[in-house]
Chain A
């Protein structure tokens, strides 16, 4: 039972970290390629979106 919890926690943390990495990378790319053309809030939205996607992927139940 505790193994399952540990596994879920690991997947959630993995999702959070990978989401942060993708989000930060995209944000920097947006800055490089003309970020502000999309509005100054766009990079933050991209970052938040990527973290959310990572979390969803981490939390999503495994198919059995």
Chain B
């Protein structure tokens, strides 16, 4: 009765654990299967950018808003390259702030624009803005806000084309995953090769053997001592 209840409890615990595992994987699948949509868009402004590679050669160019700079056709840059940009706003943006949000990084600055210009251009070195050379596809959002509610918002997809293996972050991540998976394998091995079952008969046998061993040791240590329940030797026996 007790054994069957224990087995039922174990089966129930396994089911709960399996259900948790499936739920976790399903939720992950749901998140991964629903990527955010993206395209190069701009509201309240427009602009263009030209990127150069590590050797200074022209690499890519994009107009925002425009057909390029989408998720499937991103604007390409390199971590050692540069980006020449120019832009114009529909309204004069003064005494405000600009923000470039490129997850996981974001950087910002102050807008003065005392002259009241609606056009501006500049040049940026990519590695001046990225604290780590992290290759990959990134969704970038640029926001300019000024006093009086003047605003410009632009979004687009950018790919940093360097090889992931050129980054120390990649190797650190690979090592972490390796040790983590090793941990999982060890846990699963422990799960699969548990100790053999101990039945009541086995326990009784073990107790008998322990008692026999204890008596044998007592005989060895104290030859003249008569353990309880034993028959004393006859005097003069060889």
Interface residues of A (CB under 8 A from B): 11, 14-15, 17-29, 31-42, 45-46, 49-50, 52-54, 56-64
B176 in contact with A32 (CB, 8 Å): no
Main secondary structure of the interface of A (DSSP, over half): helix
Interface residues of B (CB under 8 A from A): 10, 13-14, 17, 20-21, 24-25, 27-28, 31-32, 34-36, 71, 103-104, 134-139, 157, 159, 164, 167, 169-170, 172-184, 186-188, 190-192, 194-197
B181 — which chain A residues lie within 8 A by C-beta? 18, 22
Question: For residue A57, which residue of chain B has the nearest CB?
Answer: B187
A29 in contact with B170 (CB, 8 Å): yes
B35 in contact with A22 (CB, 8 Å): no
Question: For residue B26, which residue of chain A has the nearest CB?
Answer: A49
B169 — which chain A residues lie within 8 A by C-beta? 28, 31-32
Given A20-B180, A24-B176, A52 contacting B20 (CB threshold 8 A): yes
Interchain CA distance A38-B138 in the complex, whole Å: 10
B20 in contact with A50 (CB, 8 Å): no
B137 in contact with A37 (CB, 8 Å): yes
Interchain CA distance A41-B173 in the complex, whole Å: 19
